[in-house]
Amino acid sequence: MKLIAEMVRIANETGSGWVDYLWPFPGTGEVLPKRSYVARPGDMEMFIGSGFYPSVD
Protein backbone atom coordinates (compact mmCIF):
# COMPACT_ATOMS: atom_id res chain seq x y z
CA MET A 1 0.00 0.00 0.00
CA LYS A 2 1.49 3.34 -1.04
CA LEU A 3 0.18 5.13 2.05
CA ILE A 4 2.08 2.89 4.47
CA ALA A 5 5.21 3.14 2.31
CA GLU A 6 4.97 6.95 2.53
CA MET A 7 4.58 6.79 6.32
CA VAL A 8 7.63 4.53 6.59
CA ARG A 9 9.63 6.83 4.30
CA ILE A 10 8.85 9.92 6.38
CA ALA A 11 9.58 8.15 9.67
CA ASN A 12 12.88 6.77 8.34
CA GLU A 13 14.12 9.91 6.59
CA THR A 14 13.15 12.61 9.08
CA GLY A 15 12.26 10.75 12.28
CA SER A 16 8.73 12.18 12.26
CA GLY A 17 6.29 14.17 10.18
CA TRP A 18 2.81 14.66 8.73
CA VAL A 19 1.13 12.59 6.01
CA ASP A 20 -2.00 13.82 4.19
CA TYR A 21 -4.23 11.37 2.33
CA LEU A 22 -7.83 10.39 1.59
CA TRP A 23 -9.58 7.76 3.73
CA PRO A 24 -13.17 6.49 4.21
CA PHE A 25 -14.90 8.07 7.22
CA PRO A 26 -16.20 5.39 9.62
CA GLY A 27 -19.93 4.81 9.50
CA THR A 28 -20.51 6.71 6.27
CA GLY A 29 -17.90 5.38 3.87
CA GLU A 30 -17.51 8.93 2.52
CA VAL A 31 -13.90 9.46 1.46
CA LEU A 32 -12.49 12.54 3.21
CA PRO A 33 -9.08 14.15 3.69
CA LYS A 34 -7.20 12.72 6.67
CA ARG A 35 -3.96 13.84 8.32
CA SER A 36 -1.66 11.62 10.36
CA TYR A 37 1.50 12.26 12.32
CA VAL A 38 4.09 9.48 12.26
CA ALA A 39 7.22 9.09 14.36
CA ARG A 40 10.02 6.57 14.61
CA PRO A 41 11.06 6.02 18.25
CA GLY A 42 14.86 6.04 18.37
CA ASP A 43 16.52 3.35 16.28
CA MET A 44 13.62 0.93 16.51
CA GLU A 45 12.45 -0.60 13.23
CA MET A 46 8.85 0.57 13.62
CA PHE A 47 6.82 3.75 13.58
CA ILE A 48 3.90 5.07 15.59
CA GLY A 49 1.15 7.15 14.06
CA SER A 50 -2.13 8.82 14.85
CA GLY A 51 -4.55 10.58 12.53
CA PHE A 52 -7.61 12.79 12.35
CA TYR A 53 -10.13 14.15 9.87
CA PRO A 54 -9.55 17.93 9.80
CA SER A 55 -12.82 18.65 7.95
CA VAL A 56 -15.06 16.87 10.49
CA ASP A 57 -16.46 18.76 13.49
pTM (predicted TM-score): 0.85
1-43, pLDDT tens digit by residue? 799 999 999 999 999 999 999 999 999 989 999 999 999 998 8
Q: How far is CA 56 from the centre of its chain?
A: 17
Confidence check: pLDDT of 56 > 80: no
Which spans in the chain are helix H?
2-14
Confidence check: pLDDT of 57 > 80: no
Per-domain boundaries in the chain = 2-52
The whole-number pLDDT of residue 5 equals 95
Measured between alpha carbons, how far is residue 54 from residues 19, 35, 43, 48 in Å?
Answer: 13, 7, 31, 19
Mean pLDDT of 31-56: 94
Measured between alpha carbons, how far is residue 23 from residues 11, 12, 44, 46 in Å?
Answer: 20, 23, 27, 22
* Whether 25 contacts 32, CB under 8 Å: yes
